[in-house]
Amino acid sequence: MRIELSNVSFLYEKDHALRDIDAQLPSGKLTVLCGKTGSGKSTLLHLLSGLEKPSSGTIVYSEANPRQRIAIVFQAPETQLFAGSVRQDIEYGLELKGIPRQERLDRTSQALAKVGFDPAAILDRSPFLLSGGEKRRVVIAGALALEPDMLILDEPTAGLDPSSTKDLLDVLVQLRSQGLTIVISTHDLETFFPLADQVMVMLQGRTHYNGPARELVSSPHILESAGLEVPAATRIAYRLRSQGVPVDVPVSMDELLSALSAHKLSIRRKSLDEHPDTAPNAESGQASSGSGGDAPSPWEALETSGSLLKRLDPRAKWLGMVILSLAILHTSSLWGTLASLLVTAVILKAADISWRKTWKFLSPFFLLFIFLWLFAAVSIGSGDVSIGPFGLSYSGAIKGGIGVFGFLFIIALGLAFTETTSGVPLREGFEWGIRPLRRIQLPTRDLSMAVSITIQFVPWILEKVGQLRKALASRGQDTIGMRKWTPRQISFLFVPLLIIVIKMGDELVSAIESRGYDRQAERTSWYKLRWSVKDTWVSGLVATASSLLWWFG
């Protein structure tokens, strides 16, 4: 499959992740995509696979139905495994395509063999209990079982040991020789340059270079100006050339070694003092001590810039959040709901959060809230309108609607709060608020830590849900919206999500313990709470708005 991109740009919210990309990905070739972190590689892969649409520009595929013909393997393999056994996991995509049972099993076994497994030994194992390298190969087998025309791999060697990496490279070389078009995003230039038919270097969302790897290593300044390290073999070759050894610039260490075998090298020993590279670096000895004197802590530096809400003292935000939430919950009229909507909108604007982001954040709650709304409006037997055995009451519908919208506004306020307050200020502010409870022996410090971690977990979990949805969609689901998903597919989201959350919780506990967390010991805070005039003004405004809502809403 051949792909042609013309003038392709992509925006997340308001920020450009890709700008004006023009490129061709030739059929049956292996293209390596590299660039510094954040340069737009993963975004480009999502566009190529059809999981995202360009904000502008066009992507033309040489075949019809590209979504069905392109398989993508994302960065973290654990986000793509969801079934109880390796076999079920790989067969999932085939089931969606309506492939009969026996053919499914044959294709699954063949795909597992292609990535170096003994199918009989692994088919019934739980994918969650495999090692990182094995999980990655199972995910690739799942992609290959779909018999795609193009395979896209995002960081396939990250976290793999050298022998697993070599196994993976052998698989890729074999697949390319069978005509598969392969696109790989990677930071591992040493490993993939020797394989690449074409290299695309990304820089700040643009194509910085597009051409053969050999030309790229012949002009190492291109890699350097993109913030990438020139591969070791290339650097050694340049050093040798500068010292009079006539070697061609290689794309791999093997190539360099075989070029060197033609030369008789005599290595002159230099004393250490002659080496500028090994001279002690006076500046490096002056690393910052961390105590920093009056220098602001990392959190303080972060929170003195950005939106108005970001610059407020966390105590002002906690107070505002609590009194506004109480006032919103107290409203009982449609006017009160409209006023709450207005206040929430103003706060979201002050937090610089777009409507699109708010909508995306709230949408997972809609189903639950519609159910709660119906629950408030519908009763058995009585009501203003009868539908079979059920009755619909207008007053119940209005009361339920007011309550449901109130909760949605409070969740949106929570979004504004967590988006503008990082972990430490959030915890310090909360701890300050509940400090009086220490007198009744309440463990306020543990409580504030638990609350701050839990609050920060919410956006993280939503992001994981998004990744899992994309992983399922990449197996052949036609839409990445939730509406066309069956309950079984939705249930597939929960097992891996639960595993990810439990694993994250476990790692968090180990991290806290390994840092010597002692509940009794006094703590030195990195972050100083500072109340300013602006906090007083904003708190006054929020208190006035909350009082008006309370009395007139």
Ligand X SMILES: Nc1ncnc2c1ncn2[C@@H]1O[C@H](COP(=O)(O)OP(=O)(O)OP(=O)(O)O)[C@@H](O)[C@H]1O
- Which residues would be at the binding site for ligand X (CB under 6 A)? 12, 17, 35, 37-43
Q: In angstroms, what is the minimal distance from the CB of 203 to ligand X?
A: 10
- Pull the structure tokens for residue 115: 């990535």
Shorter beta-carbon distance to ligand X: residue 404 or 415: 415
For 60, 179, 183, 548, the CA distances from 2, given in Å and listed in that order, are: 8, 12, 11, 62
Minimum distance, C-beta of residue 12 to ligand X, in the bound complex (Å): 3
Distance of closest approach, residue 208 Cβ to ligand X, in angstroms: 12
| CB nearer ligand X, residue 18 or residue 143 | 18
Tell me the closest approach of the beta carbon of residue 42 to ligand X, in angstroms.
3
Question: With DSSP H G I counted as helix, E B as strand and the rest as coil, what are the percentages for the chain, rounded to 5?
Answer: 55, 10, 30
Q: With respect to ligand X, which residue has the nearer C-beta, 203 or 260?
A: 203
In angstroms, the Cα distances linking 547 to 190, 329, 535 are 64, 12, 18
**What's the closest the beta carbon of residue 125 comes to ligand X, in angstroms?**
29
Cβ closer to ligand X: 37 or 486?
Answer: 37
Q: DSSP code of 16? A: E
DSSP label of 262: T
- Rounded Cα distance, 552 and 324, in Å: 14
Whichever of 228 and 377 has its CB closer to ligand X, that residue is: 228
* Residue 244, SS3 per DSSP: coil
DSSP annotation of 381:
S
Nearer to ligand X, 40 or 93 (CB): 40
Q: Nearest approach, Cβ of 43 to ligand X (angstroms)?
A: 3
Q: Tell me the one-letter amino acid at 413.
A: L
Closer by beta carbon to ligand X, 17 or else 184:
17
Distant-in-sequence contacts of 403-407, Cβ < 8 A, 24+ apart: 403/372, 403/376, 404/369, 404/370, 404/372, 404/373, 404/376, 405/337, 405/340, 405/341, 406/328, 406/329, 406/331, 406/337, 406/340, 407/369
Amino acid at 391: G
Enumerate residues 6+ apart whose C-beta is below 8 A from 97.
68, 146, 476
CA Rg value for the chain: 29
Q: How far is the CB of 36 from ligand X (least distance, A)?
A: 7
Give min distance, CB of 297 to ligand X, in A: 23
Residue number with CB closer to ligand X (27 or 307) = 307
Pairing of strands 30-35, 198-203: parallel
